[in-house]
Structure 1
Amino acid sequence: MIGLKRGALAALFAALGTVSVSAQSGPVAIGTLPQGSLGYSIAAGVAQVVSENTDVSMRAVGQGGSSVFIPALNRGEIDFSTSNTFEAVFATQGTGNFEGNANPDVRVAAMLQPFEVGIMVAADSDITSLDDLRGRPFPVDYARQRLVGVMQEAVLDAAGLSADDLDGVPVPNFVEGANLLAQGTVAGVMLAPGSGVVRQTAAQVPVRFISVIEGEEAAAAVAEALPGSYVGRVEPVDRLPEITEPVDLIGYQYALLTHADADEDTVYSVVKALYENKEALSESHGSFRRFDPEDMALQVEGAMYHPGALRFFREVGLVE
């Protein structure tokens, strides 16, 4: 799908029954990661709550990766997507996984919830740190999800490693990486605890996460590479059996994105519905238990909010 031309991609979304909000003639798409990912579950929860509490009919549309749906968002072929704070910066500025391919019309609609990503290994593996990955077969490239590769590169660099220190196994996305882990072909994979892909993998082979940020210097290096990120400590809880001990992962805010030309009133209505319906969001997916309406307008240097979102945030006192 990476090679789709603009017209073909627009036709794809049209075939799925989704349109731009400017047309107001059918469901509005939220471009997101494939079904089974935590990103898809978050987008589906947003779509459900917005559809039930506004005049906007919204649906999640899973795609191969952000390299597909964020350019479509920038062009106005879809009006919303899910992603994260640093990808919003990368896309807008043409850096990171969008190096040389700026998408200047991407805007933030709202921060949705804290999110953590790290490296998952087999439970019986002898791997306890990033350094133990030296010489091991490990997913690389992520041709359809370049952002995963950028995050992996950030934690490896901070630990004094690079892809050259791994026995790299090219994969298109984290789903294939997880499949290879279940088969015993690779030593680990970068994933988000609590996601459907993690549960599916754990059903085939017991898994656990390891810390990927160790020490203040590593934390500072990761924060510089991934704007708006931080050390996300994840503690063992019953609902996350893959977390067998406290681990430090890449933490960041997952966000709802839109584009500069999206209808201001529509963006306002969407953000308002999310702000006023935390309970419904939590019922749609457990991860929204961590959603805090007061954090919806958190500032990240380099990320720009849509005017419709800012109008609502000013009304409720989240921004001046």
Structure 2
Amino acid sequence: MRLFLAAAAIALCGTNALAQNGPVAIGTLPQGSLGYSIAAAVAQVATAKTEIDVRAVGQGGSSVYIPALNQGAIDFATSNIFEAVFATQGSGNFDGSANPNIRVAAMLQPFEVGMMVAADSDIHALSDLKGKPFPVGYIRQRLVGVMQEAVLEAAGLSVDDVDGVPVPNFVEGAKLLAQGTVVGVMLAPGSGVVKQTMSQLPVRFISVIDGDDAAAAVAKSLPGSYVGRVEPSDRLPEITEPVDLIGYQYALLTHADADEDMVYALVKALHENKAALIESHGSFRRFDPAAMATQVDGATFHGGAERFYRETGIWSE
């Protein structure tokens, strides 16, 4: 799969980042995920507002497209900020496999992830998962497993406390939830997968961070994360009460050898076109151009992005 992505990306991107030599790829999660929708919106706006032709390329997971990004087989990718740290350092879901060429281009929007269960479930807290069938493994999306382990450990649990059901990714986990095979799955409210599941089964989210100690433990395990409080709204029927989820910035990543002018032009287009981003996908209502240069220990910004942020005055030393 990794070789397939690299070959496909090279065919897509060509040997030069400029539009006349072929489209530029943004590696991201599969279609139907919120990650794909975000990448597709970035690609649409970048293509419309620059001379660069950009395409979102959905793949099974970041374990495929992050190494391709590191190698320069693709020029951009989307993921959360703590994965950028993990990938760069060779920790977390990239334990022992450092990708030192990963760079941050922009923070795109705040994001929350938590546990989704059936609306009529007796699961109301993480402790209620003990002994219950629950997705584990995530061989194609190891980051989901890392996040799941972080919140379980912060609650005094481990994957050994659940009746583990191996899944390759969260999409399959959601299918098993709809079928009643598992009692929950880790997902992002508002994503296409959540909406698809709700068409088959009413669902709700539960809090995954309970108290300051748990918040500190999760932040240590997932650099740059914080408690993301999500309130009920008409837009999120799956949120039936205020819940505390894993909050973090979802980021646009690039690689160290990406053309500096290309990265500069792309982040400039995003910074100046929030309305167009919102038109492409409503989640960009939460996009804050002034927060695009938010820095996290362990993550390094690309020089082209830093140049633009310094010129704009939002870069902080």
TM-score interval, smaller chain: over 0.9
Counterparts of 1:49 and 1:156, CA distance in 2: 38
The residue that corresponds to 1:307 in the other structure is 303
Q: Post-superposition shift, 1:22?
A: 3.8
Counterparts of 1:150 and 1:11, CA distance in 2: 28
Using a 3 Å threshold, how does the CA distance of structure 1 residues 188 and 51 change in structure 2: closer, same or farther? same
> For structure 2, which runs of at least 5 residues remain unmatched after alignment?
none
Given the alignment, which residue of 82, 87, 99 partners 1:86? 82
Residue 240 (structure 2) pairs with residue 236 (structure 1): no
Residue 55 (structure 2) pairs with residue 59 (structure 1): yes
The residue that corresponds to 2:23 in the other structure is 27
Given the alignment, which residue of 111, 114, 121 partners 2:110? 114
Report the TM-score, using the length of structure 2 for normalisation: 0.98
Q: Report if aligned partners of 2:17, 2:24 keep a CA contact under 8 Å in 1.
A: no
Counterparts of 2:17 and 2:36, CA distance in 1: 24
The residue that corresponds to 1:220 in the other structure is 216
> For structure 1, which runs of at least 5 residues remain unmatched after alignment?
none
Counterparts of 1:297 and 1:245, CA distance in 2: 32
> What RMSD over aligned residues (CA atoms) do the two structures have, in Å?
1.0
Residue 95 (structure 2) pairs with residue 99 (structure 1): yes
Report the TM-score, using the length of structure 1 for normalisation: 0.97
Residue 260 (structure 2) pairs with residue 264 (structure 1): yes
The residue that corresponds to 1:249 in the other structure is 245
The residue that corresponds to 1:11 in the other structure is 7
Counterparts of 1:18 and 1:264, CA distance in 2: 16
Residue correspondences, number:
315
Q: Post-superposition shift, 1:14?
A: 4.3
Q: Post-superposition shift, 1:242?
A: 0.2
The residue that corresponds to 1:143 in the other structure is 139
Residue 57 (structure 2) pairs with residue 46 (structure 1): no
The residue that corresponds to 1:190 in the other structure is 186
Using a 3 Å threshold, how does the CA distance of structure 1 residues 256 and 21 change in structure 2: closer, same or farther? farther
Counterparts of 2:259 and 2:13, CA distance in 1: 16
Q: Post-superposition shift, 1:19?
A: 3.6
Identity of paired residues, percent? 76
The residue that corresponds to 2:70 in the other structure is 74
Q: Report if aligned partners of 2:13, 2:25 keep a CA contact under 8 Å in 1.
A: yes
- Cα shift readout 1:35-72 (whole Å, capped 9, x = no counterpart): 00000000000000000000000010000000000000
- Cα shift readout 1:179-199 (whole Å, capped 9, x = no counterpart): 000000000000000000000
Residue 138 (structure 2) pairs with residue 132 (structure 1): no
The residue that corresponds to 1:294 in the other structure is 290
SS in 2 for 1:113: strand
